[in-house]
Amino acid sequence: MKILDYLYDKTVLTDLEAVDKPGVIDELSGPVAAKTGIPHNEIAKVLMEREKLGSTGIGDGIGIPHGKLAALETLVIGFGLSRKGIDFEAMDAKPVHLFFLLLSPDDSTGLHLMLLARISRMLKDRKFRESLANAKDSEDVLRIIGEADAADDA
């Protein structure tokens, strides 16, 4: 199981324009909606409902909004980079720059949790976070994540 099995060029945004949490959720939901065929507003609603339970801003400039949708056929990951940083109500109260959106079908709890853990584990590496924060484009993001995916399996 690799992140790149579920992250696609079209679901990577390297210049988020949003200035707040609802804006980020909305902006990240667009490409995932296009990839899955599920309405954009339905995805954003599920993610915002999850945020009401507690922020997915985990600190160190990272946010991992996630949720489950019955209509989804397979897990999908989106990535967003905010160069200026966004108040995402993170645990450390610092702006969030790196976002991993994780959306999975209702019946895939195990895979959902394994990918959340894998993403979290990779993001503990400061050099990995810095590389992502300095990515120029989606190709760069996919390369950086691919290298970390391979190293995590080693």
Instruction: Assign residue 26 the CATH number of its domain.
Output: 3.40.930.10
Indicate if the pLDDT at residue 119 is higher than 90: yes
Q: What integer pLDDT is reported at residue 53 of this predicted model? A: 93
Residue tagged 């979290």 (tokens): 120
Among the ranges given (3-7, 15-19, 33-37, 107-111), the one the predictor scored with the smallest mean pLDDT = 107-111
Q: What integer pLDDT is reported at residue 24 of this predicted model? A: 97
Predicted structure pTM score: 0.95
The residue range of the domain holding 79 is 3-153
Q: What integer pLDDT is reported at residue 81 of this predicted model? A: 98
pLDDT single digits (tens) 61-94: 999 999 999 989 999 999 999 999 999 999 999 9
Distance CA 73, CA 82 (A): 29
The kind and range of the H/E element at 138 are helix 138-153
Burial class (CB in 10 A: 0-12, 13-18, 19+), 107: exposed
Active site positions, annotated: 66
Q: What integer pLDDT is reported at residue 153 of this predicted model? A: 67
pLDDT single digits (tens) 87-118: 999 999 999 999 999 999 998 878 888 999 99
150-153 own/partner pairs: CB under 8 Å, 24+ apart: 152/118, 152/121, 152/122, 153/2
Q: Count up the domains in the chain and report the number.
A: 1
Strand, helix or coil for residue 87: coil
Q: What integer pLDDT is reported at residue 112 of this predicted model? A: 86
Going 139 to 145 to 147 to 153, the CA torsion angle's sign is negative
Residue tagged 């079908």 (tokens): 105
Give backbone dihedrals phi and psi of 116, rounded to 5 degrees, phi first.
-60, -45
Q: What integer pLDDT is reported at residue 109 of this predicted model? A: 77
